[in-house]
Structure 1
């Protein structure tokens, strides 16, 4: 999520085993998701590993990937590209970048997202809990409300590693403006994940028109049109929390 604030971690940038070559298609296919930039830096010996680790730690933490999964992906990447396990310095660099992102998130858990100004997931969870607690008087939440989900997708391929996070944040900021325009009332609008926003909106006769307006506002956005859909809410607050967690990971 944009609330993470990673700092570039120190990492070895010169290694004798790095090959001044591009990754083969077979190697690319074997790399775990999100590890392509690290693999390319290893294969080319470009000296961009420190920057690649900082971006990688940010992205994996933002997408809810555990540290164990992150280090497993790093090991797979090294063995695929250079045929050896990662060094202590490489493992430490990814761990530090991931940890700093998580700490930044925890420190600002109750605040708004600094990139978009939207509510955090914690605030949306609190708002949903209030609605479910009031069901006895107000009626079933699954019938009165729904989530409108907006996914802007990842940045365009081919950008420099250091520009990826900035580009993604700019795309999400533009999407946030559009979603505020379409849902200009008292709805709770939240940044769920790195490139995903959601609105807790009343399930009324205006919902379809608002979603249609949002899609029109997003027409022609780069790098590709954003995806917008209505996600129904389950019958219990516990299931709703699980739904949010799943949407934040996808």
Structure 2
């Protein structure tokens, strides 16, 4: 992350007076990563593909969005004598954004203490559901199974340290993976909850009962608070789903 966020690469400056042809002199004076873009502008073919490749490469280099835009504009002015077409700008920025977002998702995929998926990763998975067509059906076919462990409810207990809390969450997550062994996302949510993004099918209720029994067998205490496990439906809109996740994290 340090290399990605902190590395700033100054794109090479070029002098004025370059012709609008696709000559070797023109290509040699173009910004880094934009040689192929210049050739595509000169030939009039394949522009969107090479812009997408340039966007990906610049994101991996750590270049900012503004650097990418400035370089594309500079290339277009030098080769074609005007601003780049909208489709080229869109291809460049879409590729830059997707590559950057993919890199950030890799960094935030796992919670380092528990090994569970992070809350940020769960949030991105929920957003993906809202983008699937038709959105209403995709969202309705899924639900969150929430497990709330009884931390600090007994006044006689000493305060639970962060490491112990993380270990209890990790154990709860492993039990959840036992019950939901397919491609369900099992994530840490807040300080004391685990959430599973699961399919809402005819087996979901039975699985929730099994998970509750497993957790109570480990976490349950005579006369003490019980583990809470419940099914949480997903709201219709992505912003409302984000608010729901924030609320669960604060619980």
Q: Does 1:179 align with 2:176?
A: yes
* CA offset digits 1:99-137 (Å, max 9, x no partner): xxxxxxx9x96141123211111111111111111132x
Task: Tell me, in whole angstroms, the C-alpha distance in 1 between the residues paired with 2:139 and 2:128.
Answer: 13
Task: Tell me, in whole angstroms, the C-alpha distance in 2 between the residues paired with 1:129 and 1:167.
Answer: 31
Task: Tell me, in whole angstroms, the C-alpha distance in 1 between the residues paired with 2:250 and 2:136.
Answer: 30
The secondary structure found in structure 2 opposite 1:205 is coil
The secondary structure found in structure 1 opposite 2:187 is strand
The aligned counterpart of 1:148 is 145
Is 2:136–2:236's contact at 8 Å kept on the other side of the alignment?
A: no
Residue-pair matches, total:
142
The aligned counterpart of 2:207 is 210
Q: 1:221: Cα distance to partner? A: 2.6
Task: Tell me, in whole angstroms, the C-alpha distance in 2 between the residues paired with 1:178 and 1:127.
Answer: 21
The aligned counterpart of 2:250 is 249
Q: Does 1:198 align with 2:199?
A: no
Q: Using CA pairs below 8 Å that are at least 6 residues apart, which structure has the higher relative contact order?
A: 1
Query: What's the C-alpha RMSD, in Å, of the aligned pairs?
Result: 2.3
The aligned counterpart of 1:167 is 164
Q: 1:130 aligns with which of 114, 122, 128?
A: 128
Q: Does 1:233 align with 2:231?
A: no
Task: Tell me, in whole angstroms, the C-alpha distance in 1 between the residues paired with 2:133 and 2:189.
Answer: 24
Q: How does 1:82-121 map to 2 (within 5 A)?
A: 110-121=108-119
Alpha carbons of structure 1 residues 158 and 166: separation in structure 2 relative to 1, 3 Å:
farther
Task: Tell me, in whole angstroms, the C-alpha distance in 2 between the residues paired with 1:144 and 1:131.
Answer: 10
Task: Tell me, in whole angstroms, the C-alpha distance in 2 between the residues paired with 1:160 and 1:202.
Answer: 38
- Give the unaligned 5+ runs of structure 2: 1-103
Bigger Rg, structure 1 or 2: 2
Q: How does 1:52-91 map to 2 (within 5 A)?
A: none
Alpha carbons of structure 1 residues 111 and 133: separation in structure 2 relative to 1, 3 Å:
closer
- Give the unaligned 5+ runs of structure 1: 1-105
**Could you tell me the TM-score, scaled by structure 2's length?**
0.52
Is 1:175–1:218's contact at 8 Å kept on the other side of the alignment?
A: yes
Task: Tell me, in whole angstroms, the C-alpha distance in 2 between the residues paired with 1:118 and 1:172.
Answer: 9
Task: Tell me, in whole angstroms, the C-alpha distance in 2 between the residues paired with 1:141 and 1:111.
Answer: 22
